[in-house]
Amino acid sequence: MFSYCTDPDTLGQLAWLSCYLTTGVHLSFYLAFLKVLGLLAVTAPVALAFGFLGAMAARSHILPLSWLGRGYIAIVRGVPDIAFFLFFVIALDQLFEYVRHRIKCPDWTGPVRQGNDFIVCPAAKLPLGTSPEWVHETYGFFLAVVTFAIVFGAFAANVLYGGMRAVPRAQLETAEAYGMSHRQTFWRVLVPQMWVYALPGLSNTWMVLIKATPLLFLLGIDDIVYWARSLGGTKTAQFTDYPHGDWRMWYFLFLLVFYLGFTRVSEVVLERLMKRLTHGQATTGGEAQRKAA
Amino acid sequence: MTCFETFQAYALRSIGIGERLLPRSDFTLCDHFVLIGSGMIWNIYFALMALASGFFLATALAVAKGAANPWARKPAEWFIFVFRGSPLFIQFFFAYFFFLGLKGQYAFFDAFTAAWLGALIVLFLNTSAYSGEIFYGALRSIPKGDVEAADAYGMSGWPRFRRIVWPTMLRLAWPAYTNEAIFLFHATTLVFFSAFPAWQQRGDALYYANYFADKTYNPFIPYPILAMYFILFTLVIVGGFGLVNRHLNRHLPAERRAKIKYRPKLIR
């Protein structure tokens, strides 16, 4: 990257390191951090939306819908998350391909599952065999986001469900006494008040979500774990201008520090948010703030 | 092969007893159940050993974190922060490569790069940190009256801790500790998907489930079987810890007893 990097063998230690850390592959490594942040930025709202729908379904008066919501929460939370990640990536892919197969090739007669193969017509393949590399990568990332959203949606649903039930009954009764309908009570009274009860659980879910991002590696995405493994491995002078021994330990130490910093910053931010949300609420926290002011 | 023969061949496959070659084609449901069940041996081994050993370090950490002396408090705080603030997955990777580096210099560390010891150490430290934080929280919410009563009886130091503080701490922490045990049990599935190699294809339940899913390209059979096993053992954990909980709460009137709620956070 720098002009003095043309002949790394002649450089001093610090200059060598500065060249080493700015090689093309390292820039891909740094880009992978953006991928992680991007995943978080996309997944968090989607998972929250899934969670909201799940919680609404779970407290629904329609029995089958309520079972669906509760079942979603219970099953996803009862099984190791990583099993879900491995499961959904294949299952979603096959589901999409199967749906497309039924729509695009209605006169295809062979069964989709033949022994150990899953065969759909070429037009139904996702992504199409002819599409460029970036489409494949984006599709993989999309599957990862949906998988994360499904799993963490269940966590969020559980928290939001608890939050909705924690809103004091008197608040809802007051709303009803003012002649609000069910829907109005839900949107104008329940939803604005539930956040303060749900936030501790949601911030916990957020922390767990951050700590789950390295699992992207298992979904076949070139994420930070992938790069740390491949960059850290022993490099001989034959293949690179920057030969070094097995540095994977140091790369993973760096990732460890990155995650520590990230969770710490989130903790501080969430604490502030909690303080703001508690303001003016009918809780002990809100009462303490009122007295202090 | 009948199902019984499959059972004989593969029931202990994950610890290296029985048929060497894994089934390669024409997988029956029986194959799935037996091999994935065989893998559960590893999950149970990791969970049991890590919990049993981590319990003591967790108690020590909780006491140290609550101590007034900064020489005891600071290391405990940092230990808990590091292990709770970073993903277990990355901890596995780091530990593996760390042990690998040590192995290159000292032959003594040979065993540490194998999952049975290396991963166990990581799980042990990790669960100690999480349970230590739970115990610390419980330690701080011990009713003042209990400790004052101990003082009034002339107890102090070790007897007071052993007979008053520690049992109350356990009683208060037990519901949360149950959840921690469940997480840890679920987290054991990460071992063979991080850097630790499954030597001679001796892996845990998820390793075999993944093996089947890779070979058949059909995730709808092995993973639900895996889920069934895990739900089953989770219920066993809840039951076992519930018994202990009843024992810890036996002196209290029924309505004041802490109930165990199944609330795992699952990923660490």
Q: What is the pLDDT of residue B260?
A: 66
Across A285-291, average pLDDT: 78
Percent of chain A with pLDDT over 90: 11
Measured between CA atoms, how close is B60 to chain A, in angstroms? 23
Buried b or exposed e, range A13-51, using 16+ CB within 10 angstroms: eeebeebbeebeebeebeebeebbeebbebbbebbbebb
pLDDT one-digit tens code per residue, A205-243: 888 889 888 888 888 788 888 888 888 888 777 777 777
What is the spatial distance between Cα A258 and Cα A130, in angstroms, rounded to a whole number?
A: 38
Q: Phi/psi class of residue B180: alpha, beta or left (left: φ > 0; alpha: ψ in -120 to 50)?
A: alpha
Write out chain B residues lying below 8 Å of A264, CB-based.
81, 85
Task: State whether residue B268 sits within 8 Å of chain A by CB.
Answer: yes
Which tops the pLDDT comparison, B261 or B43?
B43
**Domains of chain B by range and CATH?**
28-256 (1.10.3720.10)
User: Cβ A86–B219 below 8 Å, yes or no?
Assistant: yes
Least confident of B15-29, B30-44, B81-95, B195-209: B15-29
Give the phi and the psi of residue A121 in degrees, each rounded to 5: -70, 155
pLDDT one-digit tens code per residue, A155-196: 888 888 888 888 888 888 999 999 999 889 989 988 888 888
Q: pLDDT band at residue B266, thresholds of 50, 70 and 90? A: very low
pLDDT one-digit tens code per residue, A58-79: 888 888 888 888 888 777 767 8
Burial label, B107 (beta-carbon count in 10 A; 0-12, 13-18, 19+): exposed
User: Cβ B227–A83 below 8 Å, yes or no?
Assistant: yes
- At residue B42, does pLDDT exceed 60? yes
| CATH number of domain containing A214 | 1.10.3720.10
Task: State whether residue B102 sits within 8 Å of chain A by CB.
Answer: no
Helices and strands counted in chain A (H then E): 11, 2
Domain that holds residue A216: 3-292
What is the spatial distance between Cα A87 and Cα B219, in angstroms, rounded to a whole number?
A: 6
Range ranked top by mean pLDDT from A52-61, B46-55, B204-213: B46-55
Give the phi and the psi of residue B33 in degrees, each rounded to 5: -60, -45
Question: What interhelical angle do A24-58 and A133-166 show, nearest 10?
Answer: 40
Q: pLDDT band at residue A154, thresholds of 50, 70 and 90? A: confident
What is the spatial distance between Cα A118 and Cα A79, in angstroms, rounded to a whole number?
A: 26
User: Cβ A155–B87 below 8 Å, yes or no?
Assistant: no
Q: How many domains does chain A have?
A: 1
Q: What is the pLDDT of residue B226?
A: 92
Which tops the pLDDT comparison, B48 or A242?
B48
Q: What is the pLDDT of residue A80?
A: 84
Helix (H) or strand (E) holding A113: strand A113-114
> Which of B253, B243, B203, B240 is closest to B36 using CA atoms?
B203
Burial label, B97 (beta-carbon count in 10 A; 0-12, 13-18, 19+): buried
Give the phi and the psi of residue A26 in degrees, each rounded to 5: -70, -35
> Which of A207, A256, A213, A249 is closest to A232 using CA atoms?
A249
Give the phi and the psi of residue A114 in degrees, each rounded to 5: -120, 105
Residue among B87, B217, B264 whose CB faces A116 most closely: B217
| Coil vs helix vs strand at B218 | coil
With contact defined as beta carbons under 8 Å apart, do B82 and B159 qualify? no
Across A249-270, average pLDDT: 92
